[in-house]
Structure 1
Amino acid sequence: MEYAERTYRERVRGKGMVSFPLCVKESDLLISVDRGSFRPELKEIAWELLSRCRESLERYVRRDPEFRWTLAPRPILPGAPRVARLMAAAARRSGVGPMAAVAGAVAEVVGRGLARYAREVIVENGGDIYLKTLQPRVVGIYAGKSPLSEKVGVRLGPCSQGWGICTSSATVGHSLSFGSTDASVVLGTNAALADAAASTLGNLVHREEDISPALEKVLEIKGVRGAVVILGDKLGAIGAVELVPM
C-alpha cells in the first residue's frame, strides 16, 4: 500500500508547483500550490484549515452518530458545519451514505480555503483530489494489479472554480465498495460530490457488462462531468474526460 500511495502522489505533483504533506490525526494530505504563491505561512494556514474542518465534523458526528455509520443519505441537522453539509448534499445526489464523501469534502474545504492565498491549488486526500488550475493538468489512475494501472491518466483543463476528481476501488485502499472495480474515477464540480459518486459507480460494477450502464447512470448525477472505470484489463469512460497515456 505504501507503494501505491507514493506512486499516486508522484502523479499528482504538478509542474511549477511546490508540494508539502500535511497530517492531522487520520487525515493525510498532500498539498501543492503554484510556486509564485508559495510562502512558508501557507503550511500553518493549511494546518489550521484542516484542524478546524476535522474538529467541526467530529463535533457534528457527536450530535448525530448515525451520520457516521449510515449507508444511505441522511438529512442534515440545523447548524451543521460546511464539511457536513457538503457530505450530506453529495450523498443525497449519489444515493450513498455521507461518509462516502468525507475525503473529498475535506480536500474541498482545505483547497478552497487555500485558494484565497494561491493562484493554483491541488489537495490530494487518499486519492481524492480538489484541484484549482490555470493550466492543463494530468492525474494518473492507480488501479492496483490491473494491467492498465498507471498506464492512463485524465487530462483536466484549466478551471478557476475548481475540479473534484476522486477514486473508489474494491481492490486498492480502504474504500468501502460493494462492487469489483480496480478503479472508479469521477470528475465533478466539487470533490465531495466526485467522492460520493465514485462510490456509487464502484458499487454498480461487478462484471464487464455492468460498465456501460453504470457509467451512464452516474453521469446523470447533477454535477458529475465525467467518469472512468477500470476492471481488470477493461476500461470504460464517459462524459468530459480526456484520457491520455502515462
Structure 2
Amino acid sequence: MFLFNEKISIKETNITLKTEAEKFIKLAKKTILRERINLENYILKHPEFLTSYVPVRVSVDAPKIVKIMARAGENADVGPMASVAGTISQMVVENAVKYGCKNIISENGGDIALRAEKDIVVGLYAGTSSLSGQIGFKIEKEKTSKGYGVCTSSGTVGHSVSLGNADAVVVFAKESSIADAAATSIGNFATGAPDEAINKCLEKAEDIDYLDGVFVVVGEYAGKIGKIPQLVKTDKKVALGEFFEMI
C-alpha cells in the first residue's frame, strides 16, 4: 500500500512521507515549497502572524495556508503558528489526493495527515512514559478513506512551545490543522499533579469544536474524552514520528 517512503526536510519543515507512487513524493516537495513561500511572504508583511500566542484575523486575500492556520488558531484559542506543522501535512495530503493519490501519510514533527484505503495504526510516542511504544490507535478505513488528522503536542518532548508538562496530548480530527492547534491549546493546561493535569486538559478539550477525541498522557497516567480510535497493543518502541499500518 505504501511503496515509497522518504524524509523531506525544507527549512523547519521535516516531513516523513509514505505514499503509493514516487510522483506523489515529488508533488509533496513542490507543495511544501510553494506553501512555505506563501506563508513566509505573508509573515514579512504581517509579522504578528508569526509571534502571536492568540488568534489573529487575516485579510480575505490572504493565501490559503494562512487562512487555514488562522481558522485553526481561532478554533482552539491559540496563535496561528500553533497549527503550522499540521496544516502543511494537511495540504500535502489534500494536494496529492487532488491528483489521484489514494494512500498517503504525511508526518510533520508528530502531526499527521493521512488518507488510506485500509485501516491504519498510529503508534503512541509519549517520551519516557511506560505507555510510549506500547499502544497504538487503530483508525478504521471509514475515516482514513475520507482523510484524517492525528496530531500530538508534548511539554516534555520536542522543541515546540508548550506551557504544560504532558508527555502527549493526542488529538483526532478530520483536519490535521484543527487537531494541531487544539493539541497545543489543550497541552498548555497540563499543570499540577498527573491526575489534575489530565483533568484540566480534558476540560479544555470540551471547549474546542471539530474534534473527534483527545487522549492525554502524563507520566504513567492517561485520560480520554470524545471518540478516540480503538486502542491496540503494539510491541514496537516507536520514536517520534514513526507509525505503522495494519493490513
Aligned length: 228
Q: Aligned residue for 1:62? A: 44
Q: Aligned residue for 1:140? A: 123
User: What letter corresponds to residue 149 of structure 2 in structure 1?
Assistant: G
* CA distance in 2 between partners of 1:63 and 1:16 (Å): 40
- TM-score norm. by structure 2 comes to 0.88
Q: How does 1:83-232 map to 2 (within 5 A)?
A: 83-116=65-98, 117-158=100-141, 159=143, 160-206=145-191, 207=193, 208-232=195-219
* CA distance in 2 between partners of 1:220 and 1:161 (Å): 25
* CA distance in 2 between partners of 1:210 and 1:24 (Å): 35
Gaps of 5+ in 1: 1-14
**What is the root-mean-square deviation in Å for CA atoms of aligned residues?**
1.4
Q: Residue 71 of structure 1: which of 53, 62, 72 is its match?
A: 53
- TM-score norm. by structure 1 comes to 0.88
Q: Do the aligned partners of 2:112 and 2:149 also contact (CA within 8 Å) in 1?
A: yes
Q: Does the residue aligned with 1:115 lie in a helix, a strand or coil?
A: helix
* CA distance in 1 between partners of 2:33 and 2:19 (Å): 19
Q: Does the residue aligned with 2:147 lie in a helix, a strand or coil?
A: strand
Q: Aligned residue for 2:15? A: 29
1:245 and 2:219 correspond: no
Q: Tell me the CA shift for residue 170 of structure 1.
A: 0.6
* CA distance in 2 between partners of 1:78 and 1:62 (Å): 17
Gaps of 5+ in 2: 235-247
* CA distance in 2 between partners of 1:156 and 1:42 (Å): 23
Q: Tell me the CA shift for residue 239 of structure 1.
A: 1.6
* CA distance in 1 between partners of 2:174 and 2:30 (Å): 25
Q: Tell me the CA shift for residue 16 of structure 1.
A: 4.3
Q: Tell me the CA shift for residue 19 of structure 1.
A: 1.4
Q: Does the residue aligned with 2:53 lie in a helix, a strand or coil?
A: coil
Q: Tell me the CA shift for residue 213 of structure 1.
A: 4.3
Q: Tell me the CA shift for residue 129 of structure 1.
A: 0.3
Q: Residue 50 of structure 1: which of 32, 43, 46 is its match?
A: 32
